[in-house]
Chain A
Amino acid sequence: MNRQMKINIITALLTVVVGLVVGMIIIAIIGSNPWSLLNAIYEGTFGSVVNFGNWISISVPLALTGLAVAIGYRAGLFNIGAEGQFQMATIASILVAVTSPFNGLITILLVIIVGIIVGALWALIPGILKAYYKINEVVVTIMMNWIALYLTNYFIVVHFHTSTNLTQTPIIPSTVSLNLKWLTNLTNGSNINAGIFILMLAAIFYWYSVEKTTFGYEIKAVGNSSEAAIYAGIDSKKRIIQTMCLSGAFAGLAGVVYALSAPGYQTTLSVFRGFGFDGITVALLGQLSAIGVILSGLLLGGLRQAGIFMQIQQIPKEISDIIIGVILIFSALSPIIIKKIMKKKGDANE
């Protein structure tokens, strides 16, 4: 087991290195200094206290969508729809935050509950279709992402915009923001907020349910061999739907954190914000473990931060996306590579 873990960590690190090297090569090709990538990553993360705070802040929703994808993966479900679940939860959160008659703290709790439920409900549909009609969840969740995107655009433009700007929601009241004064002051006014505590609770919840409960045992059985799970008397249909909803709930929670962070409003979108999609990379790179997901969430947050600082140096920030893409490909391949390595070593050990 220990050896397996070592190999897992080494492959994850190698994956990141390969991603960074590819990014540097591309920067070199477009005629800039490849080392500026590493410089930008450093600037965006540890470069200053403010940057550090912003880095943590952007990483939190990424890690949460990472948990969303990871829990699905445990049950053999590929939730590509974290993006849509995130999107629906974000708009619902802002709506509740803006219209709630209650005071700050109660509203925040209400937003969290609503966001989780909306995310879960958006995942319920592909869950039911998968469990009862064997319709591939990948296809359904992709479709549902687009529905979420245009539904929220429609909602903003037609029903939920400011008096001056048709494409922007009202701003949430500052009393429902997740900002904590002491954290803001500590980081010279960065965006860091109570989201990190939400992430920690979510990560503990994830670890506990997957590793310590019968529910976790059952979804892993379903994910690895649904036939054996059924044979053992596990209600695999129910577990598939529950896992899908739980996955949506994590994505919804990411939406809540995003909505209640700066800037505190949402605009109509022509492309996805990518939090759900990056969640796939986060989950796979983190090898589905709670700690791994948090670490790779921080890494992807760091790359997003680096994008900002590359732009300052006239390097397109999309390089970050390329790196994330390369990391995703190699993370997806890594189980195969690991198996090959283990096999070779296994042969040699026998």
Chain B
Amino acid sequence: MYAVEMLNVTKIFGHFKANDNITLQVEKGEIHALLGENGAGKSTLMNLLFGFYSLDGGEIKINEQKVEITNPNIANDLKIGMVHQHFKLIKPFTVAQNITLGSEITRNKKIDINATNKKVQNIIDQYDFNLKATTKVEDLTVGEQQKVEILKMLYKEAEILIFDEPTGALTPQETIELLNTIQRLQNKGKTIILITHKLQEIKAIAHRCTVIRRGKSVATVFVNDCTEEKLAELMVGRAVNFDVNKVDKNPTKDILQIENLTMYNSFGSKTLDDVTLNVQYGEILGIAGVDGNGQSEIVEAITGLQQVSSGTINYISNDIKHDITKKSIREIINLGIGHIPQDRHKHGVVLEFSVAENAVLKRYYKSPYAISGRLNKNKFNSYAEKLILENDIRTPHGVKSLTRDLSGGNQQKLIIAREIAEQPDLLIAVQPTRGVDVGAIENIHQSLLKERENDKGIILVSLELDEIMKLSDRIAVMYDGRLMGIVDAKTATQNQIGLMMAGGGTNE
């Protein structure tokens, strides 16, 4: 029997078919993966299931009954629940308060806090979640916060649980725990839809997998009968090369030396604690860690975006040491440090600028783009045209398109193309493949490796451990603002790095 059936579902925005005749059938009690690239139509499909959008064609059946889901409350009543990528929790509230929010247990119109705690603790114990109902959410780790999100669904007695990219912010250990949890929920009879682009996770726990490509469902397969390569090919529409060709390199010369770097945030608490590390010409230094453990601070200290509290950062070019802690951002850029920023909308581009204007963001004031303060926009355009041609950046109306009108992946390509075209000696790439589809990821990885081949220094900060392990020569692991150690990428294991990311065992 099917718990969820979306039959020949179509959703059209203007002339754009976001979902084109998609069929998704999820059996009761199975773990069903939904695989697809960014923009393939997964979110649209789930938004249809939740009643955020209305159907333009097809029908939805829940437990073999045809239903009209016109708003999210109906989805709730049908016992469908979802754990979003970004948690929706109130941090100063306790676990129990967060879980019962919206349907509080009351007595005489007042919240009955004891009964609430008791009921929530019951559910927690019933599913072996190892949490306390009275803990405040702000004191929980990311993995534990996710459990609260799951418990919110269980409290509402949801039977169909949807997980939207649930492992994005987790350490490898937390990921394993989550996958176990999902299996446990399945064992208790829940039906699970797992939205993801991580093939290992699908292989690990899913029974069947529906692949969506460009708004169409291309296949539903039994996971056991299918290799990762096959799944990737279905998703992208062509064979994907997972292996990277790394040339052997024997880096010897430092390009960057960070010593005893310590930083504080505006509230006065330490964000970086006595970090010492070096980067060499011709190597990729990966920086691994769960988001928010000091990686951004290191990057912002090097690029000059944040004031350094104490410590030194020396940048060595042409055998001259430059202390860059006191230099302006522009001086640092002109010394040859490129930066692919983490938040492309915030830092990487001015969204209201044209593609041409963003292409010259770091050279607009130099000749021939400007001569004594006067801009030459023709040069902007020809430079940008070259960039978009060489890097296959797709724009709606060429270089004059507003950057806002480009897709996220193409915005990212524009930023990477721009930064590499500046020919930096040290390139800092922060999450360069976030939100970019598999095909483009391949190209971005190739670009980074090419820089390495050309003897540039590269710092790669990423939350995707696979990416770090694949590309890096050495891996620095951060936890709570401290450097837990630097390991050789050739010999390190996922497990070892995962432990370090969680603050445990260093490289002995």
Q: Which residues of B contact A232 (CB under 8 A)?
A: 329, 333, 361-362
Q: Which residues of B contact A347 (CB under 8 A)?
A: 13-16
Taking a contact as CB atoms closer than 8 A, the residue among A213, A224, A225, A234 that contacts B373 in the complex is A213
Q: A231-B339, A233-B328 are in contact. Are A217 and B375 (CB under 8 A)?
A: yes
- Asked if A228 is an interface residue, CB under 8 A from chain B, the answer is yes
Q: Which residues of A contact B357 (CB under 8 A)?
A: 217
- Asked if B109 is an interface residue, CB under 8 A from chain A, the answer is no
CB contacts under 8 Å to A, within B285-302, are none
Q: Which residues of B contact A349 (CB under 8 A)?
A: 14-15
Taking a contact as CB atoms closer than 8 A, the residue among A224, A231, A348 that contacts B329 in the complex is A231
Q: Which residues of A contact B364 (CB under 8 A)?
A: 214, 217
- Asked if B346 is an interface residue, CB under 8 A from chain A, the answer is yes
Q: Does the CB pair B400–A224 fall under 8 Å?
A: no
- Asked if B264 is an interface residue, CB under 8 A from chain A, the answer is no
- Asked if B53 is an interface residue, CB under 8 A from chain A, the answer is no
Q: Does the CB pair A225–B350 fall under 8 Å?
A: yes
CB contacts under 8 Å to A, within B301-351, are 303, 305, 328-330, 332-334, 339, 341, 346-351
- Asked if B249 is an interface residue, CB under 8 A from chain A, the answer is no
- Asked if B228 is an interface residue, CB under 8 A from chain A, the answer is no
Nearest B residue (CB) for A228: B350
Number of interface residues of B (CB under 8 A): 32
CB contacts under 8 Å to A, within B341-390, are 341, 346-353, 357, 361-362, 364-365, 370, 373-375
Nearest A residue (CB) for B354: A1
A227-243 interface code vs B (CB 8 A; 1 in, 0 out): 11111111100000000
Q: Which residues of B contact A1 (CB under 8 A)?
A: 400
Q: A233-B328, A233-B330 are in contact. Are A212 and B374 (CB under 8 A)?
A: yes
Q: Does the CB pair B346–A227 fall under 8 Å?
A: yes
- Asked if A220 is an interface residue, CB under 8 A from chain B, the answer is yes
Q: Which residues of B contact A214 (CB under 8 A)?
A: 364-365, 370, 373-375
Q: Which residues of A contact B374 (CB under 8 A)?
A: 212-214
Instruction: Give chain A's interface secondary structure class.
Output: helix
Q: Which residues of A contact B347 (CB under 8 A)?
A: 227-228, 231
Nearest B residue (CB) for A213: B373
Nearest-Cβ distance from residue A212 to partner chain B, whole angstroms: 6
Nearest-Cβ distance from residue B383 to partner chain A, whole angstroms: 14
Q: A224-B350, A233-B328 are in contact. Are A215 and B13 (CB under 8 A)?
A: no
Q: Which residues of A contact B14 (CB under 8 A)?
A: 346-350
Q: Which residues of A contact B349 (CB under 8 A)?
A: 225, 228
Q: Does the CB pair A350–B13 fall under 8 Å?
A: yes
CB contacts under 8 Å to B, within A220-266, are 220-221, 224-225, 227-235
Nearest B residue (CB) for A344: B14
Roughly how many angstroms separate A1 CA and B361 CA in the complex, as a whole number? 21
Q: Does the CB pair A224–B353 fall under 8 Å?
A: yes
Nearest-Cβ distance from residue A48 to partner chain B, whole angstroms: 44
Nearest-Cβ distance from residue B302 to partner chain A, whole angstroms: 13
Nearest-Cβ distance from residue A213 to partner chain B, whole angstroms: 5
Roughly how many angstroms separate A213 CA and B353 CA in the complex, as a whole number? 15
Roughly how many angstroms separate A231 CA and B374 CA in the complex, as a whole number? 22
Roughly how many angstroms separate A220 CA and B402 CA in the complex, as a whole number? 14
Q: Which residues of A contact B330 (CB under 8 A)?
A: 233-235
Nearest-Cβ distance from residue A334 to partner chain B, whole angstroms: 16
Nearest-Cβ distance from residue A208 to partner chain B, whole angstroms: 9
Q: Which residues of A contact B333 (CB under 8 A)?
A: 232-233
Taking a contact as CB atoms closer than 8 A, the residue among B16, B329, B362 that contacts A350 in the complex is B16
Q: A214-B364, A217-B375, A233-B330 are in contact. Are A348 and B15 (CB under 8 A)?
A: yes
A189-232 interface code vs B (CB 8 A; 1 in, 0 out): 00000000000000000000000111111001100110111111
Q: Which residues of A contact B15 (CB under 8 A)?
A: 347-350
Q: A213-B373, A213-B374, A221-B353 are in contact. Are A228 and B305 (CB under 8 A)?
A: no
Q: Which residues of B contact A224 (CB under 8 A)?
A: 350-353
Q: Which residues of A contact B400 (CB under 8 A)?
A: 1
Q: Which residues of A contact B328 (CB under 8 A)?
A: 233, 235
Q: Which residues of B contact A217 (CB under 8 A)?
A: 357, 364-365, 375
Nearest-Cβ distance from residue A51 to partner chain B, whole angstroms: 41
Roughly how many angstroms separate A270 CA and B362 CA in the complex, as a whole number? 50
Roughly how many angstroms separate A217 CA and B341 CA in the complex, as a whole number? 21
CB contacts under 8 Å to B, within A74-124, are none
Nearest A residue (CB) for B358: A228
Cβ-closest 4 pairs across A and B: A233-B330, A347-B14, A231-B347, A224-B352
10 contacts between A and B (CB under 8 A): A214-B373, A215-B373, A224-B353, A225-B349, A231-B305, A231-B347, A232-B361, A233-B328, A346-B14, A347-B13
Q: Which residues of A contact B (CB under 8 A)?
A: 1, 212-217, 220-221, 224-225, 227-235, 346-350
* Known contacts A212-B375, A347-B13; 20 further A-B pairs (Cβ under 8 A): A213-B374, A214-B375, A217-B357, A217-B365, A224-B350, A224-B351, A224-B352, A227-B346, A227-B347, A231-B305, A231-B329, A231-B348, A233-B334, A233-B362, A234-B330, A347-B15, A348-B14, A349-B15, A350-B13, A350-B16
